[in-house]
Amino acid sequence: MMQNPDDLLTVQEAGELLGGKSSPLHASTIYRMVRSGALPAPVKVSPGITRWRRGDLLGALESRGQRTSTKTPDQLRREAEAMLAHAEALEREGRAA
């Protein structure tokens, strides 16, 4: 079944998309990646309801040369962790400047 890139995902669904169903990224990791610029900001649907566009998350992975369609959940998780480590390093450099 084809997934619509305009689908709005909860933070839990975003975690599964980025880390795999067997080892999804935690919500705090996703928000930290947003703050660091590694992931796009979510869409505020209404007060207390935040969602991510599937296409935006996939685009963030694709822009780093990471394709999700042929990778295992472990590979996706390692790539997401590498993105986070890189974003945190950039954030530390920004503070040091």
pLDDT at residue 71, rounded to an integer: 65
pLDDT at residue 97, rounded to an integer: 45
Tokens, residue 9: 């995902």
On whether the CB atoms of residues 17 and 57 are closer than 8 A, the answer is yes
User: Does this model's pTM top 0.75?
Assistant: no
Give the full edge-to-edge strand order of the sheet including 43-46: 8-9, 49-53, 43-46
pLDDT at residue 43, rounded to an integer: 94
Per-position pLDDT tens, the chain of length 97: 457 778 999 999 999 988 888 888 899 999 988 988 889 999 999 999 999 999 999 888 887 765 545 666 677 778 888 888 888 888 888 755 4
Burial class of residue 52 in the structure, from the number of CB atoms within 10 Å of its CB (0-12 exposed, 13-18 middle, 19+ buried): buried
Report helix angle 11-19 to 27-36, nearest 10: 80
